[in-house]
Chains A and B, each alone.
Chain A
Amino acid sequence: LSMTEIRAGFTAIKANIQSRDPIRTLSILSHPHSLHKVKSADRCCITHQLFTFYVDKVFKHCRTEDSFVNRKISSIANSFLSARRKLGQCREQNNCMCGEESTEKFKQILANYEGLNVTSAAMKSLGELDILLDWMEKAR
């Protein structure tokens, strides 16, 4: 998983994407529960759930009128797809167990997402990719 590639892709479109999210008072990933409070035992599971969340619910709803931005989004999406496949292999070998806390936390993330209309929720989630990347890098 090339975090550097994903990070570079996101940095290139961050201002554009975040400017499409006018809602400052809600977060999908960081409130009310912060990813940084996830116990290490739950990290693999939460990461796999979040990759699935981004692949299944976010990227497909993030088309813009800007072809440069769209290209960056699809390259990030491809990186997520391959990363999810690798994490899926971990889950098959039972190395990525989901505890109660991670299940609860992921439910909250889905609730935050479903609290908005699809396009707003997807664009907000994409704009929060650095929250996910910051957490993954710190946890590494």
Chain B
Amino acid sequence: SGELYCSLPNPRNVHFESINMKNVLHWSAPEGTGDGVFYKVKYAVYGVGKWIRKPECRNINRTWCDLSSETSDYEEQYYASVKAFLNGTCSDWMETTRFNPLTDTKIDPPMVSVSSTDRSISIILTAPEKWKSSPEEESISLLQVYPGLQYNVSVLNKKTKKRWFFSISNNTLIVPWLEPGTAYCVSAQIHVTTPILDSGFSKEHCITTLKDK
């Protein structure tokens, strides 16, 4: 392909970082190189014979490249590769391991909204959406992507420090038999049973039950 003789050290640690299927290729600069290194990126669908260049990541000097659009079909798996250039010489192409968007993404915590009566609190949970290329594009909840998606919910009585854990499949939870006029803090996590994926816990949402009537 008319490439130069490549004696430059290779880019290192070429890997995908994925959150809610926003799939970004990252790498580290070749060892011992300072500024002035440029990179090219290409990707391939596993099982299909050709590499595809990513024009927006041609001759870039940053060490990441957003391949979310190119890897948005999560029924496929992918490889990506990076080549470095400096002062007329280049490195080899350095490939990722096989990337499976469905199992290799990380999931954000759910959104939590809480309301209360005097003796109960109601919790509504919303799973994050799959990454999309533009706001006009149809939103796909990760609930549609992972049918086995569940929520783990923690409820803390701020006064007694007593904590309850609930594991639910639907997105609403009512916690009854609570004390009036008491502050409770709620935090929730997404748990996908298979493939095995867990989000972190959301930040705490605190609410005080109404005083006794």
Interface residues of A (CB under 8 A from B): 3-4, 7-8, 11, 15, 18-19, 24-27, 30-31, 34, 36, 127, 130-131, 133-134, 137-138, 140
The answer to whether A130 and B49 have CB atoms under 8 Å apart is no
Contact present for A11 and B47 (CB under 8 Å): no
- Asked whether A27 and B46 contact (CB < 8 A) given A4-B194, A137-B147, the answer is yes
What are the interface flags for B33-47 relative to A under an 8 Å C-beta threshold, 1 for contact and 0 otherwise? 000000000001011
| Residues on the B chain within 8 Å of A11, using CB | 103, 195-196
Considering the complex of A and B, which 3 residue pairs feature the smallest CB-CB distances, nearest first? A27-B47, A31-B47, A25-B49
Take A18-B98, A130-B100, A131-B77 as given contacts and tell me if A137 and B47 are in contact as well, using a CB distance cutoff of 8 Å: no
Contact present for B196 and A7 (CB under 8 Å):
yes
Cβ contact within 8 Å between A24 and B46: yes
Q: A15-B97, A30-B47, A131-B77 are in contact. Are A8 and B147 (CB under 8 A)?
A: no
- With contacts defined as CB atoms under 8 Å apart, how many contacts are there between chain A and chain B in the complex? 56
Selected A-B contacts with CB under 8 Å, 30 pairs: A7-B194, A7-B195, A7-B196, A11-B195, A11-B196, A15-B97, A18-B97, A18-B98, A24-B46, A24-B79, A24-B98, A25-B44, A25-B47, A25-B49, A26-B47, A27-B47, A30-B46, A30-B75, A30-B77, A130-B77, A130-B100, A130-B102, A130-B103, A131-B77, A134-B75, A134-B100, A137-B148, A137-B194, A138-B147, A140-B147
- Interface size on B, as a range, is 20 to 34
CA distance A36 to B47 in the complex (A): 15
* CB <8 Å contact, A3 and B194: yes
The distance in angstroms between the C-alpha atoms of A30 and B76, with both chains bound, is 8
Q: How far is the CB of B100 from chain A (nearest CB, A)?
A: 6
Q: Write the B76-116 contact mask toward A (1 if CB under 8 angstroms, else 0).
A: 11010000000000000000011010110000000000000
- Asked, given contacts A24-B44, A30-B76, whether A133 binds B97 with beta carbons under 8 Å apart, the answer is no
Q: Is B4 engaged at the interface, CB distance under 8 Å to the other chain?
A: no
Minimum CB–CB distance from A80 to chain B (whole Å) comes to 16
In this assembly, does B167 line the interface, its C-beta being within 8 Å of a C-beta of chain A? no
Which residues of B line the A interface, CB within 8 A?
44, 46-50, 75-77, 79, 97-98, 100, 102-103, 147-148, 193-196
| Nearest-neighbor residue (CB-CB) of B81 within chain A | A24
CA distance A49 to B148 in the complex (A): 25
Q: A4, B47: Cβ atoms under 8 Å?
A: no
CB distance from B20 to the nearest CB of A (A): 17
CB neighbours (8 Å) of A127 from chain B are: 98
Report chain A residues within 8 Å CB of B50: 25
Bound together, the chains give a CA A27 to CA B44 distance in angstroms of 13
Complex alpha-carbon distance, A34 and B49, angstroms? 15
Residues of A within 8 A of B193 (CB): 4
Residue of A nearest to B45 (CB): A31
**Chain A nearest Cβ from B142, distance in angstroms:** 13
Report whether B75 and A36 are in contact in the complex, using a CB–CB cutoff of 8 Å: yes
**Docked pose: A134 CA to B195 CA in angstroms:** 8
A127 to B97, CA, bound (A): 12
Contacts of B49 in A (CB 8 A): 25
A31 to B49, CA, bound (A): 10
